Chain A
Amino acid sequence: RKEVEQDPGPFNVPEGATVAFNCTYSNSASQSFFWYRQDCRKEPKLLMSVYSSGNEDGRFTAQLNRASQYISLLIRDSKLSDSATYLCVVILNTGGFKTIFGAGTRLFVKA
């Protein structure tokens, strides 16, 4: 089983739609959680950190459920510019810190 698993995608949605991405992690030593965005042939860029209390940044809302080892990202009112691959990222603390990337979920927002 992969340490970080994401929805397979791709997600094809019209502009204005709400789309949700899910991510599960298997290692209980997982300590910090992030969503990154990666555009085609570019480096990943931090979208937002994920906290148990949930956090919102404009149209983006991230949630963490430690009991279920589950992370989510909700995008409201999708824009064409939201088209990208969204990476779920987990940092493990196993004596040293190790970053694990999910395989990513591709999103295509169409006019």
Chain B
Amino acid sequence: GAVVSQHPSRVICKSGTSVKIECRSLDFQATTMFWYRQFPKQSLMLMATSNEGSKATYEQGVEKDKFLINHASLTLSTLTVTSAHPEDSSFYICSARSSPGTSANEQFFGPGTRLTVL
């Protein structure tokens, strides 16, 4: 299957700092990427849908000014957690769909980034 990478895999930062997470599709072009957050023992919650060359679509309750998403190319989307606080500590996972607009297509997930804010 297609490969999606994330970097970094783990980050520990102080409260108030900003953290950037990269999501790359390594062997295919992804016009749409998704950002999820998963708290312990809970399901993945979609934060936003990132479309190449346009603004991201955020889910209800997700602050777009706090979680900045940039999808500058067909293989890279970034999520920046600005002014991180301990409650932002979570497992952040990106995914990419290989063909746009085809619901049956599988989403390929990155390995996730574990963020810990002290």
Residues of A participating in the B interface, judged by any CB pair closer than 8 Å: 31-32, 34, 41-46, 49, 87, 91, 93, 96-99, 101-104
* B109 near A103: Cβ-Cβ < 8 Å: no
Q: Which residues of B contact A44 (CB under 8 A)?
A: 44, 93, 109
Whether A102 pairs with B43 at a CB distance below 8 angstroms is: yes
The 8 Å CB contact of B103, one of A87, A91, A101, A103, is: A91
Q: Are B43 and A32 in contact, with the CB atoms below 8 A?
A: no
Contacts of B109 in A (CB 8 A): 43-45
Select from chain A the residue with minimum beta-carbon distance to B44: A101
Question: What secondary structure prevails in chain B residues at the interface with A?
Answer: loop
Chain B's interface size range is 20 to 34
Nearest chain A CB to B10 CB, angstrom units: 10
CB contact under 8 A between A32 and B103, given known A44-B109, A101-B43: yes
Please report the C-alpha to C-alpha distance between residue A34 and residue B107 in the assembled complex, in whole angstroms.
10
Q: How far is the CB of B22 from chain A (nearest CB, A)?
A: 15
The chain A residue with its CB closest to the CB of B97 is A97
Judge whether B54 is part of the interface by a CB distance below 8 angstroms: no
Verify B43–A34 contact, CB threshold 8 A. Answer: no
CB of B43 within 8 A of CB of A104, answer yes
- Give the chain A neighbours of B34 by CB distance below 8 A: 99
Say which one of B12-20, B69-77, B82-90, B110-118 lies at the interface with A: B110-118
